[in-house]
C-alpha cells in the first residue's frame, strides 16, 4: 500500500532570526498562517490515510512536530536522536513502513517546500508510486525548470522508458550539482535537465536492498533498529544505534549507485523556499510593493521583504532589502544577498551569542 | 547669584524607536552610558551649586528626571502640566529662581545637546552671565559654524559692543530660520552668522519684565504661579494656570522684540544631536566602520548607525543605513534620510499603533 514519508529533520539556519535551533523552517509560519510541515501533510489529501504517514523528525523538534500534526498516530513520528543525513533518515522510515506493511510503497517528501496545484501534485505522486510498485527501482521526481536557477541541484534526464498514465518515466542519467548561470541557461534551453526537488518514490524493500548493497554498515544498524521499532526498547535502541550510522545523502550515497533509477518530470509550481528572497517570490506584494508579514510600515520603500514576529518594523526610503525582526533579533540584508544569512549565523556563533541561535 | 535652568520638557520623536512619549531624548543613553540630561547637569561642574540648578520637565517625565538627577532638591524640579513652548518654560524657571533669589542671573540650557571642551563652555557661560548681571538685556550664545549646516537656525551678528574677558559681546541683529545650502555657505564664509544653540543668559527680572511688556497674558499667569511656588498650593495652581498660558517660543516671542539683545560667539564643540545621523557624528566608529551601540554584528557593511537596546542586530552587505532596534520596534532608514523618522512616527499614529509611540 502507499505510504508517505515526510522528512522533517531539518534544522537549517537560512531563515534566521525567525528560525532557531528549536524552531526550524518547517515549523515556522512563513508564507501563510500554517507551518510548512502542516502544509506538506495537508497536501497529501486523500492520497494516503494518516496511519500510513511517517514523519521523521529530531529529538529537539519531536514535540513541536507532534503539536503541528496532532492527528498523526504517535508511533508514526520517528525521532532521530541526532541527524545522520538523508540516507539514514529515509532508511529509518523504510524500516518503519515495511514493518507495518511488507508491501509498503513510499513517497518521500521534504517537509519544508511550497507546492502549488496540489491535485496535480497528488496525481504525479500516485503515478510514480504505481510505477515503482510494479517495476521496482528508485524514482525521483524532477521539476521542469522555469528559469536559469543556480541555487538548485539538477537531474540529467536519460531516455524515456515508458508512460505511467499521462506521466512519462525516464531513466535518470545522473545528479548534477548546482550549476553556474551559463550552465543553468543551457539546462533551461535544452530541456534535458530537471530541478532536483528531493521528492522520491520506491518500495520500502527496494530502498533497504540498495542500502544493504551499497552501505552495508547502514543496513546492519537499520536491522537492529527495525527489530526494536514498536517495542518497549525502541527508544533505547534508536538512541544507541542511530548516532553510529554512516552519514551520507540519499542522492549521492544511494541514488547515484542504484541499479534502476527513474525520474518523472513534473510541472506543478514548486519552491524549496531556500532563502528570504525565495520566500518573497511566493508572497503577494502588498499595496506598497513589499512582501510583508506582521506589523510593518513601509514609507517610500518597495521590493522589500519585511517580516516581523512581534516588533513593529518601520522602513523609510529603502528598496529591495530583507528586514526580519523578532523580539530578540533583527536581520537586515539586501534581497540579492539573502543567502548570506549563513554568515550571520556563523558570526553569531563565533561571538558566543548562542541565545539567539 | 548665578542659576542654571535646564529645559528638559522635550518630547521629540526624532530618536524613535529609542525615544518614546515617556522616554524623550534627554533621558536616553544614546551616545554614552549617561543620559544627555545627566551630561548637561554634570557639565555645569562647579559653575553653579546644585540648589541653584532648576530643571523644567513635564508631568510625564518628572519622575524619570528626578531619578536621573537624584541630588537635585525636589523643589528645583519644575514640572509643566503640559508643554506651552519655551517662553512659558523659561518664564516659569525665572519665577522660581527669582523667588529663591531676587538677584538671580540665569543661564538657560537645553537638556539634550552634546557639548565638548566643558571648561571652555563654563568660562563662556560665566562671562555671559557676568555681562547681563551688570548690563542687563537678553543674551544668546551662538556657535561659530564649522560647516554649511541647513538643519540649524542662525543668529545674525550685529556690531561688537564690548568684551567680557576674552569673549566678545555683540548686538544681535536677528534670528534667521534654517537656510538653504547656498545661504548656509554664505553664512559660513562671511562669518557674520552663528548657529542658534538655544543657550541664553539673563537676569530673571529682565526676562520677566520683557514677558510683561511683550506677552502680558503670560506675565499675569506667571505671577499667579510665582505666588504659589513653594507653597502647598503650588501643584494645584500650576495645573490650573499653566495650560492656559500663551504658547510661544523664546526666540520669536520674546528675544526678537526685546529692547537689548546680545550675542556671544562661542567655539566649543556643540551638537543638538537632532537625528540618528547627527548622533553618529558624535560616536567613534568601531573596527567595521560603523557607529554601534548594543549587541550588533556588521558583515561587509560600513558607514552604518546600528543601535540596539536589546535585540541582536545583524546587518550584511548594507552601507550608510540607520538600524535601530528595541524589543518592540525596529527602524531602518538611509542615514541621509534620518530626519524622516517624523514620517514614521506620524504613520504609526495613523495606524493606531500607539503602543510603540
Whether residue B296 is found in the same domain as residue B327: yes
DSSP A94: H
Q: Which chain A residues are within 8 Å of B314, Cβ to Cβ? A: 17, 329-332, 344, 347-348
Contact B32, B16 (CB under 8 A): no
- % residues pLDDT > 90 (chain A): 87
Q: Which chain A residues are within 8 Å of B299, Cβ to Cβ? A: 340, 343-344, 347
Report how many domains make up chain A: 2
Predicted confidence band of residue A31 (pLDDT cuts 50, 70, 90): low
Whether residue B47 is found in the same domain as residue B66: yes
Whether residue A52 is found in the same domain as residue A105: yes
Range of the domain at A346: 276-356
Q: Which chain B residues are within 8 Å of A347, Cβ to Cβ? A: 297, 299, 314
Boundary residue ending a domain (B271, B294, B321): B271
Predicted confidence band of residue B31 (pLDDT cuts 50, 70, 90): low
| Nearest C-alpha in B relative to A355 | B312
ipTM score of the complex? Answer: 0.84
pLDDT tens per residue across span B285-342:
898 899 999 999 999 999 999 999 999 999 999 999 999 999 999 999 999 999 999 9
What does the block give as the cell for A337? Answer: 544577498
pLDDT tens per residue across span B342-357:
999 999 999 999 999 9
Boundary residue ending a domain (A271, A300, A335): A271
Whether residue B281 is found in the same domain as residue B352: yes
Chains A, B: CB contacts within 8 A come to 129
Whether residue B222 is found in the same domain as residue B241: yes
What does the block give as the cell for B62? Answer: 518628572
Q: What pLDDT was estimated at residue B287?
A: 87
Whether residue B256 is found in the same domain as residue B243: yes
Whether residue B243 is found in the same domain as residue B316: no
Whether residue B286 is found in the same domain as residue B236: no
Provide the CATH number for the domain around residue B47. Answer: 3.90.550.10
| Nearest C-alpha in A relative to B348 | A297
Burial string for B58-91 (b: 16+ CB within 10 Å, else e) reads bbbbbebbbebbeebeeebbbbbeebbbbbbbbb
H-helix or E-strand containing B327?
Answer: none
Q: What pLDDT was estimated at residue B283?
A: 84
C-alpha to C-alpha distances, A282 to A128, A204, A278, A294, nearest whole angstrom: 26, 33, 7, 16
CB contact under 8 A, A314 and B329: yes
CB contact under 8 A, B317 and A299: no
Instruction: Using alpha carbons, select from A304, A357, A311 the residue that is nearest to residue A333.
Output: A304
Facing A334 at nearest CB: one of B297, B318, B341 = B318
Predicted confidence band of residue A151 (pLDDT cuts 50, 70, 90): confident
DSSP B204: H
CB contact under 8 A, A327 and B323: no
Whether residue B265 is found in the same domain as residue B288: no
Whether residue B71 is found in the same domain as residue B142: yes
Whether residue A310 is found in the same domain as residue A249: no
Whether residue A288 is found in the same domain as residue A213: no
Boundary residue ending a domain (A271, A293, A318): A271
CB contact under 8 A, A334 and B317: yes
Round to whole Å and give the CA distance between B57 and B64: 10
CB contact under 8 A, A327 and B331: no
Amino acid at each position: 500500500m502507499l505510504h508517505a514519508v515526510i522528512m522533517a529533520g531539518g534544522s537549517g539556519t537560512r531563515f534566521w532570526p525567525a528560525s532557531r535551533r528549536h524552531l526550524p523552517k518547517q515549523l515556522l509560519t512563513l508564507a501563510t498562517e500554517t507551518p510548512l510541515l502542516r502544509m506538506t501533510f495537508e497536501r497529501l489529501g486523500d492520497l494516503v490515510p494518516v496511519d500510513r504517514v511517517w514523519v521523521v523528525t529530531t529529538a529537539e523538534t519531536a514535540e513541536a512536530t507532534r503539536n503541528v500534526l496532532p492527528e498523526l498516530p504517535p508511533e508514526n513520528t520517528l525521532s532521530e536522536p541526532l541527524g545522520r543525513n538523508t540516507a539514514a533518515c529515509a532508511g529509518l522510515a523504510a524500516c518503519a513502513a515495511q514493518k507495518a506493511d511488507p508491501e509498503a510503497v513510499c513517497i518521500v517528501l521534504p517537509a519544508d517546500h511550497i507546492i502549488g496545484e496540489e491535485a496535480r501534485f497528488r496525481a504525479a505522486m500516485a503515478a510514480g508510486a504505481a510505477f515503482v510498485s510494479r517495476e521496482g527501482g528508485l524514482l525521483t521526481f524532477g521539476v521542469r525548470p522555469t528559469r536559469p536557477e543556480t541555487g538548485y541541484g539538477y537531474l540529467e534526464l536519460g531516455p524515456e522508458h515508458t508512460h505511467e498514465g499521462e506521466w512519462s518515466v525516464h531513466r535518470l542519467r545522473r545528479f548534477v550539482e548546482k550549476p553556474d548561470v551559463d550552465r543553468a541557461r543551457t539546462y533551461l534551453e535544452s530541456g534535458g535537465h530537471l530541478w532536483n526537488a528531493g521528492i522520491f518514490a520506491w518500495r520500502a524493500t527496494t530502498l533497504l536492498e540498495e542500502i544493504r548493497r551499497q552501505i552495508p554498515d547502514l543496513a546492519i544498524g537499520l536491522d537492529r533498529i527495525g527489530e526494536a521499532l514498536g517495542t518497549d526498547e525502541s527508544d533505547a535502541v534508536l538512541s544507541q544505534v542511530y548516532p553510529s550510522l554512516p552519514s551520507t545523502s540519499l542522492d549521492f550515497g544511494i541514488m547515484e549507485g542504484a541499479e534502476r533509477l527513474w525520474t518523472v518530470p513534473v510541472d506543478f509550481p514548486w519552491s524549496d523556499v531556500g532563502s528570504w528572497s525565495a520566500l518573497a517570490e511566493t508572497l503577494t506584494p502588498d499595496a506598497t510593493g513589499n512582501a510583508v508579514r506582521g506589523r510593518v510600515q513601509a514609507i517610500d520603500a518597495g521590493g522589500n521583504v519585511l517580516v516581523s514576529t512581534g516588533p513593529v518594523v518601520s522602513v523609510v526610503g529603502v528598496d529591495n532589502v530583507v528586514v526580519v525582526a523578532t523580539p530578540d533579533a533583527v536581520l537586515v540584508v539586501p534581497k540579492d544577498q539573502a543567502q548570506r544569512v549563513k554568515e550571520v549565523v556563523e558570526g553569531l556563533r563565533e561571538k558566543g551569542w548562542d541565545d539567539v541561535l
